[in-house]
């Protein structure tokens, strides 16, 4: 059974940093593109970033370039999102999703709240 489990969310002050993790199981992680998608409270989905199988290609939504970094560790079957210089508008549920575009499996999400 495919499982994606996010962790690392929580309350952080504006300007702070947070690193999200996504533990994958039930499939050969190293053969799939992976993505992060977020959803602000009561709002729609926003695609954040994706990464190819060996981590050599990474793409980001224009508005987040330079502040967020996606990475992966295939030996640990894990996906990461390093978030720096966080702002109130980054408050959202962050989902890990399998695939670079056709997201056929999703995690349950982890809530990031940016507030003083």
Partner 1 sequence: DIQMTQSPPSLSASVGDRVTITCRASQTINTYLNWYQQKAGKAPNLLISATSNLQSGVPSRFSGSGSGTDFTLTITSLQPEDFATYYCQQTYVTTRTFGGGTKVEIK
**Contacting positions for partner 1 (CB under 8 A):** 35, 37, 44-47, 50, 57, 59-62, 95, 100-104, 106-109
Evaluate whether 31 touches 53 at the Cβ level (below 8 Å): yes
Q: Least distance to partner 1 from the beta carbon of 106, Å?
A: 4
Q: How far is the CB of 86 from partner 1 (least distance, A)?
A: 21
Q: Which residues pair with 19 in a beta bridge?
A: 82
Q: Which is nearer to partner 1, 41 or 116 (CB)?
A: 41
Contact 11, 111 (CB under 8 A): no
Q: Residue 42: how many CA atoms within 13 Å on its side-chain side?
A: 1
Nearer to partner 1, 5 or 74 (CB): 5
Nearer to partner 1, 16 or 59 (CB): 59
- Distance (Å, rounded) from C-alpha 49 to C-alpha 58? 7
Cβ 97 to partner 1 shortest distance, Å: 8
């Amino acid at each position: 059974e495919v499982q994606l489990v996010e962790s690392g969310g929580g309350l952080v002050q504006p300007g702070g940093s947070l690193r999200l993790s996504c533990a994958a199981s039930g499939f050969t992680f190293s053969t799939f593109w992976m993505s992060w998608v977020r959803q602000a409270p009561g709002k729609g989905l926003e695609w954040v970033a994706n990464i190819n199988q060996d981590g050599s290609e990474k793409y980001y939504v224009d508005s987040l370039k330079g502040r967020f970094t996606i990475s992966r560790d295939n030996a640990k079957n894990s996906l990461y999102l390093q978030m720096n210089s966080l702002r109130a508008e980054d408050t959202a549920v962050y989902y890990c999703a399998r695939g670079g575009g056709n997201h056929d499996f999703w995690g349950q999400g982890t809530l990031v709240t940016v507030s003083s």
